[in-house]
A and B are shown apart, each in its own frame.
Chain A
């Protein structure tokens, strides 16, 4: 005997309850997930806020060099690894042991930070200041500094890539200058992006 088909678009009105194998829903919310909000109730739901959704780590920072006398923040290096996240989510960034140094007249500072950007929104990490180092040290030492920052990406649908750019500046162009990075690949620094749901 041939199996009779049912045209559900004509034979059923309303929604099919969960207890009968349906969802009980006539529509859902774009970009959200289906979640049991009760034992027999389904609903659209965003991912819980504050959850880490993904982690991207890289260890290739600081394998290029840049030296500056500029007194406004300028790019030392745009880091090669990025993270792609759902728009509207947050990105927590850490960089460990960024190597740089400051030299020139005593008591003039060099400053370094990392800028985070999704092309629309930007955020910066903490800034680290180094004074010119002790004149009794003949070879100027390179220091590893740690930085962290939180970017809230622009809202919207879809995804967006977040990049991190190391920025630095000198306090006085004629009194001090700042060195960043090292061509020795054994002295790179690590950096980490974490996508956090909102």
Chain B
């Protein structure tokens, strides 16, 4: 997670969402938008799945 100064809270990153879906994913995420799969994304994780998981994890974090 990263701390967002403007929102004054911890933000769940796309990488953390990807790792939540596949904990051994080999991937680089740049600027929270460009995803480079170094393992060719063997389970074909979609952007929609990542965004949904990111929102789910963020809701958990916000509830703390």
Chain A residues with CB under 8 Å of chain B are: 64-72, 74-77, 139-140, 173-174, 177, 179, 182, 184
Contact = CB atoms under 8 A, between A and B. Distances in A.
Given A68-B27, A70-B27, A140-B1, 8 more contacts: A65-B30, A65-B31, A66-B28, A66-B29, A67-B13, A67-B29, A69-B19, A70-B38
Interface of B: 1-3, 5, 10, 13-15, 19, 23-32, 36, 38-39
Main secondary structure of the interface of A (DSSP, over half): loop
Contacts of A140: 1
Interface centre among A64, A69, A140, A184 (most CB of B within 10 A): A69
B44 to A, nearest CB: 18
A65 B14 CA distance: 12
A66 B15 CA distance: 9
Given A70-B38, A184-B5, A177 B30 contact: no
B28 to A, nearest CB: 4
A101 B51 CA distance: 23
A68 B25 CA distance: 10
A64 B27 contact: no
Nearest to B39: A173
A65 B32 contact: yes
A64 B26 contact: no
Contacts of B10: 139
Nearest to B13: A67
A66 B30 contact: yes
